[in-house]
Structure 1
Amino acid sequence: MTVILGLTGSIGMGKSTVARMFEEEGVPLFDADAVVHQLQGPEGELVAAIEARFPGTTDDKGVNRTALAERVLAEPEALQNLEGLIHPAVARERRAFLARHGEAPLVVLDIPLLFEKGGAGQVNKVAVVSAPGPVQRERVLARPGMTLAKFCQILALQLPDEEKRARADFVIPTGGSLDETRAKVREIIACLASPPNP
């Protein structure tokens, strides 16, 4: 039976780096963010619906994510409307991914808002990527176009790191070296993907 590992973590915790490490170890990875980018990119399935709901947030390159974020981050109802478009499309892609990899001993679902949006019930185990607060803040504020106000807005929508760690089956630290992080990833794979002893 395939073990489904949900991989999550707050903004700036190093989740994308950890997801790549699982992939490099041969574990099939479903990247929810990458799917959203595809759905919102040039000729993406959701572009027309998003433009209809939020006029002026798309162009010939697809959805202008900065403009869309500015429109929805401060308005819970607008964010809910956007999620109503995105979540069913991502769920459909996730089902197709799981069907394609039904024979794998372990698959990873990289889902940023796993706890916040009730996704924990769809996975067998949860791994949370975590780094110390100052490291997280430094990483996020180094991103192009990021401001302290925007960072605070995003954090307000996410479960606190401490709570995520408390609810996780595994915590993957990313505040140290890449080798330490990779060792933890390999330890989790060995734990979950190995056949049980008879």
Structure 2
Amino acid sequence: MKEKILVWSLTVVLLAAAWGVSKATLTDDAATAPFPTVAALDEPVAARNLAATVTDVHVATRVTDAEGWTAEGTWLVVDLTAATVVTQQSATLRLAELVIGDRTFTATDRGTTLVGQRLFTGVPRSGSIAFELPADALTGSGVLRLGVPSEASPNDVPLDGVIELTVRLDELPVEVDAALDENGWAR
């Protein structure tokens, strides 16, 4: 009888240990996951090869760029300045996404925005990025993620640093019309 109790006790201990190991084990993509750097509105922040300052976040039902392009819908517009820190080789603002719950939205490449624009070391560029969202997405919080490709893998999303800014979506007022900042050198 004591042997059965000992065997069952040992089985429970081993199962608990196996469960603990499975919870402590990193996911398969952990080796290539970026290191997030938390940002705040109007505060400069740097993550490896990207330095950025998000100056404004607003929602509009119509956006217009400096060249006359216009689109209607539900738009989240982010005004920012960005520069590289280490190298400008293959340095473009390639990662610009908004994560809301389990949904991820990529910044639009329509109109004139900073998405895909070449960045320079130590010389900030200013402009806007915009996300076209479904109307029901403007509740709760979202996380804005910005990054440039790493020098080791310029064709991939960043592997070493990403800037993340939490946006409280339901606190943002909805404007009728928003102009995307013209791309240019920051002042």
Same fold? TM cut 0.5: no
Which protein has the bigger strand share?
A: 2
Greater RCO (CA < 8 Å, at least 6 residues apart) = 1
Q: Which has the larger radius of gyration?
A: 2
Which protein has the bigger helix share?
A: 1
TM-score range, shorter chain: under 0.3
TM normalised by structure 2 equals 0.24
